[in-house]
Structure 1
Amino acid sequence: MSPTTETLTAERILEATEDVLRRHGPAKATVVDVARALGVSHGSVYRHFRTKAALRAAVTKRWLDRTSETLSAITADESRAPGTRLRDWLAALFEAKRRKAGDDPELFATYMVLTGETGEVVEEHLADLTGQLTRIIEAGVASGAFTAADPATTATAVFHATGRFHDPGYHRVWERPGAQEDFTALVDLLLRGLGRAS
């Protein structure tokens, strides 16, 4: 089926937009480039996304949601003890961010620009992540594994404390020797701090 006869969906547009951004970068990529890649008019793209900014926000959300979806499976996995779940969640976040930066540096650089443009999308993503952490900490408190007077505040503190291992601004240090050991030491410290005093 040729691009022009295949049904145009928002998902196809977002896939094409990601490819165009990878090739041209955020400064040069246009809606016309996306339409050309799909074999449609730019008006067809605008029927799904009313503005270029809306398209860029949607593709940024899609990129961020990939990480959130992976982490939500860990959050929901009640077969893991809360301490294990917290350790696994933080490790998965670190690995996801490290993989994005290392496997596709051009696209990662593009998204660094786009996330700066789409503050609301980024804030929603951060709220989702701290919400997931809150649920893990609540489970730890309920089981007696953790102490936290306010799980939401504690979750925010854990998120900020581990920022060096997931904030894209630190991406250059993620592959340095000792980064994994530093991460493990920090998580060990956090888990000891959350542990119920005897």
Structure 2
Amino acid sequence: MAPTPEALTAERILEATEEVLRRHGPAKATVVDVARALGVSHGSVYRHFRTKAALREAVTKRWLDRTSEALAGIVAEAGRDPEARLRAWLLALFDAKRHKAGDDPELFATYTTLAGENSDAVDEHLDDLTGQLAEIVRSGVDAGAFTSADPLTTARAVFHATARFHDPGYHREWERPGVQDEFEAVVDLLTRGLRA
């Protein structure tokens, strides 16, 4: 049974768009395909997303936000030692990116293409991630565990220093033997440098 226009939500459209992208890939997926998958007219989809580009940006943002939301839980663990929180956050970021690349390579390739088209969504995601890191660094400074004159600058440095373990451009390296040890060595080096 096709959803009524009132029952059609942006979230349902984004879910269907993900499936259409998985099936057809970014080059061939159309708004008509999304509408067909939902059993509605393409005009119904356009009432929620004014253009195909807006729909693609929204689905990209949704995909990126999943990672940000998962990491926000670690940032919120105020009772946890700041160094342990920093280590857990970096590991969770690495694991999330590694799973996205390894669990569904076709969808990962699709989203990599979409991320390239939607630099605003990617920039917002990167700002959110560095903001989360800055909050952890700031809490470490406040607790006397870390030293940093500017937690945001320090967070950006940590983020860039660990890029090999979360930047999608490195995804082929993430399953190499020894990559986990290399990750831990980088994180050990960074945390030693942050200690007060």
TM-score, normalization: structure 1? Answer: 0.97
Deviation, structure 1 residue 79 = 1.6
Q: Which whole-Å CA distance do the structure 1 matches of 2:56 and 2:135 have between them?
A: 30
Q: What is the percentage of aligned positions where both structures have the same residue?
A: 75
Tell me how far apart the structure 1 counterparts of residues 19 and 106 of structure 2 sit (CA, whole Å): 11
2:86 matched residue in structure 1: 86
> Do structure 1's residue 133 and structure 2's residue 108 form an aligned pair?
no
CA RMSD of aligned residues (A): 0.8
Give the aligned partner of residue 153 of structure 1. Answer: 153
SS at match of 1:69: helix
Q: Does 1:166 align with 2:169?
A: no
Any stretches of 5+ residues in structure 1 without a counterpart?
none
Q: Does 1:188 align with 2:188?
A: yes
Give the whole-Å Cα distance in 1 for the aligned partners of 2:143 and 2:119: 36
Aligned to 1:19: 19
Q: Distance in 2 between matches of 1:184 and 1:93?
A: 13
Q: Hey, what's the Cα distance between the residues in 1 that align with 2:3 and 2:113? A: 31
Distance 2:38 2:164 in 1: 39
**Equivalents in 1 of 2:141, 2:179: separation in Å?**
30
Aligned-partner residue type, residue 43 of structure 2: G
Measure, in 2, the Cα distance between the counterparts of 1:110 and 1:150: 37
Equivalent residue for 1:75?
75
Cα deviation digits, residues 26-82 of structure 1 (max 9, x gap): 000000000000000000000000000000000000000000000000001112100
TM-score by length of 2: 0.98
Measure the CA separation in 1 of the matches of 2:176 and 2:80.
Answer: 30
Q: Which residue of 2 aligns with 1:4?
A: 3
The number of residue pairs the alignment matches comes to 195
C-alpha displacement at 1:7, in angstroms?
1.0
Distance, in Å, in 2 between the alignment partners of 1:121 and 1:103 is: 23
Cα distance in structure 2, aligned partners of 1:87 and 1:18? 31
Map of 1:37 onto structure 2: 37
- 1:109 alignment partner in structure 2: 109
1:4 Cα shift? Answer: 3.0
